Amino acid sequence: MIYTTFAELYDELMDPEMYHRWVQYFKQRVWLDMGPVLDLGCGSAALTLLLKQAGYQMEGLDFSEEMLSLATEKMTEDESFIPLYQGDMTDLRALGKYNAVVSTLDSLCYLADESELQLVFEQVYAHLIPSGHFLFDVHSLYQVDKVFPDYMYNYQDENEAFLWHSYPTDVKHAVEHELTFFVKEQETGSYQRLSEYHYERTYPLEVYVKLLKKAGFDRIEVSADFGKSSVKENSVRWFFSCTK
């Protein structure tokens, strides 16, 4: 495959197993045939499509037009149709009511600060039906403060090379990722460089719970490993299952 955008390359980095594990986690908590489900920060709709294939009535929202273009391509290949919206997750006023909202693979960690996170929680709460579910994951403090700083990963094959380097920032519990791809031009043999910087931020567990309660959620379950274990000091990702 010849990649022409960073979105296509970034999408290839995602581990398919993560999406399948998310489907199982979701199915254990949200019943079928209860109404529409919104995938918040759906990206290329990899999870959205899997949940639709599992029988859920899916819709998706993402800020990136490039990712939504990839999602449309995937739907065409799958011969599926899912309503997709381009927009900011802090403002869902144009959308309807949902039985469940799901946000995966640390999408909420891309929000700039605590006030934006609070806005998203309030918007999600407002767009859920009574007893609706909000499921999401975020990076843990351990992941951001211990694992990511100065983390490096390199990959290379005959057609492309990928460099990932994470840096600590001056902001507490925040990290910046420098992602660089070198993609071989088949006709000339030269390499095209594509780079992006991704800023992510997380918060202590009690901050997430406090903001969720402030938004109105009163039933909040927090776990690790897709709900299979309790949160530990070295858990890398936290999973939240909240009910309105």
d(C-alpha 38, C-alpha 24), whole Å: 17
User: SS3 of 207, please?
Assistant: helix
CA distance 225 to 244: 23
Structure tokens at 157: 């094959």
Beta bridge partners of 62: 86
| Whole-number pLDDT of residue 175 | 98
Helix (H, G, I), strand (E, B) or coil at 51: helix
Beta strands in the chain (DSSP E): 36-40, 57-62, 84-86, 98-103, 128-139, 152-156, 160-168, 174-184, 191-201, 219-223, 237-243
pLDDT band for position 14 (cuts 50, 70, 90): confident
Tokens matching residue 216: 């109105």
pLDDT of residue 6: 61
pTM of the model: 0.93
Mean pLDDT of the 186-190 span:
81
Q: Per residue in 39-94, pLDDT tens?
A: 999 999 999 999 999 999 999 999 999 999 999 999 999 888 999 999 999 999 99
Amino acid at 170: D
Q: What is the pLDDT of residues 144-158, one digit of tens each?
A: 999 999 999 998 888
pLDDT at 221 over 60: yes
